[in-house]
Amino acid sequence: MLRVLTLATLFPDATRPNFGVFVERQTRGLAALGDVEVRVVAPIGIPPFPLSLHPGYRSLARLPLREDWKGLAVDRPRFVNLPATRGRFHVGALVRCLTPHLDALRETFRFDVIDAEFFFPDGPAAVALGRRYGVPVSIKARGADIHHWGHAPATAAQVRAAGERADGLLAVSQSMADDIAAAGIDRPVRVHRTGIDRSRFGALDRAAARARLGVTGALVVSLGALIPRKGHRIVLEAVAALPGVALWIVGGGPDQASLTARIAELGIGDRVRLCGAMPHDALPDLLAAADVMALASSSEGLANAWVEALASGTPIVIPDAGAAREVVTRSTAGRIVARDAASFAQGIAAILSQATDPATTRATVDAYSWERNASELRDHLAGLVDQKG
């Protein structure tokens, strides 16, 4: 039996059900294998008083310290998150929090390997803890953990050191593996792609989904947090140039007010809807109903919104960021365009003007499977244990 400790600061909870939902899904797949036992430690950062009184942090502080989350045993210890320090002290705080917690956990769950699901701060903390307990450590890179933390002055050295000292490295795409090397980590990296729940994405009838949502004309969907990096402003300005095309932007975040103002300035309030954050369970209907999924991110690893849209038979329009060229491999998958409104408008218009077969679009992501994801992760972690001896 392979005993895996999954360390994930990026993991859903009752207050943030979509936060790291892909980590949850991957871990559930791993735990479902008959020869693997998994325990999840999902630390939560809480700042000192009086910032801890902020409603968001107060709701996090009220979460249970231990719970069953969709069949997974999940611990949620608290570590001190010091705002305005740019992450400089996150790792130290995390190690101080986790050391007594894992000392106690080892009495009942003697884990063989630590699987760190985000490169920072999970990765450096996992390396320190792996040395303490004499177990190998794997770190997975997903996007911002390398693109931001791997280059930020306060944290880049910690990221590089963790990458060099870990026993194994994973990346969600080949481009992400290349980005690890560009961050100064000269190590072999195994590509470990995400999966797709095909019982949900691609299993719905498009006409029925459109009827349920009241969609009658051309619909573009943009999925992602309302932050500048996701580029929703670019997409809405592109749609403004396409008469008769509707846009639904799904996500929450600090850009909501500025996006609302821009929609009013452009006079397209009758065609653009800010939907707010949606439960992940609501996305299959939405992606099945859409004609295009457009996301103008300035950086990505391998966006789940890309592969879930394609699995739903919906082409995508995206910039040449992250694993874009690994996903848009043919015209039936969509278009890769420059990151500006005019180029996005052209890409969206090109898709809307062509007759597309959802089945051929779905076929472009046939290689993405949660079953394959789980078995590859099990083999990777078991190999690290064998190498450690």
- Where do the domains of the chain lie? 2-195+369-388, 206-363
- Return mean pLDDT, the chain: 95
Q: Taking residues 331-358, report their average pLDDT.
A: 95
Q: Dihedrals φ, ψ of 219, to 5°?
A: -125, 125
Do domains 2-195+369-388 and 206-363 share one topology? The answer is: yes
Question: Residues 328, 292: contact at Cβ < 8 Å?
Answer: no
CA 245 to chain centre: 28
pLDDT digits (tens, 9 = 90+) for 108-126: 999 999 999 999 999 999 9
Question: Residues 166, 138: contact at Cβ < 8 Å?
Answer: yes
Query: 237, 274, 268, 227: which is closest to 348 by C-alpha?
Result: 237
pLDDT digits (tens, 9 = 90+) for 9-68: 999 999 999 999 999 999 999 999 999 999 999 999 999 988 888 888 999 999 999 999
Q: Please give the pLDDT value at position 141.
A: 96
What is the distance between the alpha carbons of residues 27 and 98, in angstroms, rounded to a whole number? Answer: 20
> Residue 187 pLDDT > 80, yes or no?
yes
Q: Please give the pLDDT value at position 159.
A: 97
A 10 A CB-CB count for 319 gives 22
CA distances from 372 to 5, 26, 116, 144 (A): 20, 10, 19, 24
Question: Residues 314, 321: contact at Cβ < 8 Å?
Answer: no
Q: Please give the pLDDT value at position 366.
A: 92
Please state, for a pLDDT cut of 70, what percent of the chain lies above it: 100
CB proximity list for 368: less than 8 A, separation 6 or greater: 193, 194, 195, 196, 307, 311
pTM beyond 0.85: yes
What is the distance between the alpha carbons of residues 183 and 274, in angstroms, rounded to a whole number? Answer: 36
Fold of 2-195+369-388: Rossmann fold (3.40.50)
Q: Please give the pLDDT value at position 312.
A: 97
Ranges of H-type helices in the chain: 21-31, 55-61, 90-105, 122-133, 144-147, 156-165, 174-182, 206-213, 232-240, 256-266, 283-289, 304-311, 324-327, 341-353, 358-363, 370-388
pLDDT digits (tens, 9 = 90+) for 275-311: 999 998 899 999 999 999 999 999 888 899 999 999 9
323-360 burial, b at 16+ Cβ within 10 Å, e below that, comes to bbebbbeeebbbbbbeeebebbbbbbbbbbeeebebee
CATH ID of 206-363, from 3.40.50.2000, 3.40.630.30, 3.40.50.300, 3.90.1210.10: 3.40.50.2000
The model's confidence at residue 264, banded by pLDDT at 50, 70 and 90, is very high
